[in-house]
Amino acid sequence: MGINAHINLDLGTAAAEISRGKNLADLENDFNKINTILSSLVHEVQDDLSAVWPALKYLLKWSGKVDDFLVDFSMKLAREGAWKYANQIANVPEPDVQVSIDERDQRVADIVHIITKPGMIATIALGIIRITERGSVSEKIRKMKKHIS
Give the sign of the dihedral formed by CA 33, CA 1, CA 71, CA 103.
negative
- 99 pLDDT tier (thresholds 50, 70, 90): very high
- 13 pLDDT tier (thresholds 50, 70, 90): very high
Q: How far apart are CA 144 and CA 122, in angstroms?
A: 24
Residue 142's domain comprises 2-148
- 29 pLDDT tier (thresholds 50, 70, 90): very high
- For residue 3, which of 102, 89, 104, 74 has the smallest C-alpha distance? 74
Q: Specify whether the CB–CB gap between 53 and 126 falls below 8 A.
A: no
**Mean pLDDT comparison of 7-11, 93-97, 118-122, highest-scoring range:** 93-97
Burial class (CB in 10 A: 0-12, 13-18, 19+), 107: exposed
- C-alpha distance from residue 4 to each of 120, 136, 144 (Å): 22, 25, 22
Q: Across residues 46-56, what is the average pLDDT?
A: 78
For residue 147, give every residue at least 6 positions away whose Cβ sits within 8 Å of its Cβ, in sequence order, or none.
Answer: 47, 48, 51
Structure confidence by residue, pLDDT tens digits, 105-128: 998 888 777 777 778 887 787 787
- For residue 85, which of 72, 102, 104 has the smallest C-alpha distance? 104
Q: How far apart are CA 115 and CA 45, in angstroms?
A: 20
Number of domains in the chain: 1
Other Cβ atoms less than 10 A from the Cβ of 109: the count is: 14
Percent of the chain scored above 70 by pLDDT? 89
Structure confidence by residue, pLDDT tens digits, 52-78: 777 777 777 777 766 666 676 677 888
Rg (CA), the chain: 18
The pLDDT assigned to 102 comes to 95
